[in-house]
A and B are shown apart, each in its own frame.
Chain A
Amino acid sequence: EPEVTQTPSHQVTQMGQEVILRCVPISNHLYFYWYRQILGQKVEFLVSFYNNEISEKSEIFDDQFSVERPDGSNFTLKIRSTKLEDSAMYFCASSLDRGRYQPQHFGDGTRLSIL
């Protein structure tokens, strides 16, 4: 069964540094998402992406965050200047369509630790 893959599984970065989290969505999917889960808290929506542009974003997704689909397979989340509070598990998801009948498929996540 096709999977969403995320790399790396664990990323350790110094505060203030830029970090890029990578995702390879399922190949025929058209909608892409990033979520995060701070330790002990809920999984939170960050951003959705379709047709090379952001379709929706949350209040968390401020100017420090950006997403990109640099080629036909990768979908990346960049944090420009990391803060301690960015430490979390980041999940990428994709869906075939945005309709309600198309479930979101999640990757195994990247654990981001900011020192």
Chain B
Amino acid sequence: AQSVTQLDSQVPVFEEAPVELRCNYSSSVSVYLFWYVQYPNQGLQLLLKYLSGSTLVESINGFEAEFNKSQTSFHLRKPSVHISDTAEYFCAVSSDSSYKLIFGSGTRLLVRP
């Protein structure tokens, strides 16, 4: 069975500081990995995805994530955060055997001025 673990429930950080949100997964098959973001009172928006190929994937707003198969991780990073990045971030996994998304418990990123 697949599972996703997000180790940090909340990450407070000052504006313009770097941040890393951790995600680890377990699966016995090849996986596809996703990060979704949820802004207050909104739905889940796809931030970035790893399907195959380059292990480093980037989003249009400066976030990046690196797929590390040996460590079964897909951590999300941003070198300099903005107040507007304050949101809940969810890591998710799916596979060819089932296209349902399995989510982690989420990490609330709180960016302070």
Contact = CB atoms under 8 A, between A and B. Distances in A.
How would you classify the secondary structure of chain B's contact residues: helix, strand, loop or mixed? strand
Interface in A83-104: 91, 93, 95, 98-101, 103-104
Given A42-B103, A42-B104, A100-B94, A108 B43 contact: yes
B27 to A, nearest CB: 14
B90 to A, nearest CB: 6
A46 B34 CA distance: 19
B31 to A, nearest CB: 10
B7 interface: no
A98 B44 contact: no
Contacts, number: 54
A47 to B, nearest CB: 9
A43 B34 CA distance: 14
Interface residues of A, number: 27
A101 B44 contact: no
A106 B36 contact: yes
Contact of A108 (B41, B94, B103, B106): B41
Chain B interface residue bracket vs A: 20 to 34
Contacts of B34: 103
Given A100-B32, A103-B49, A45 B102 contact: yes
B100 A48 contact: yes
A105 interface: yes
B84 interface: no
Interface of A: 4, 6, 31, 33, 35, 41-45, 48, 56, 58, 91, 93, 95, 98-101, 103-109
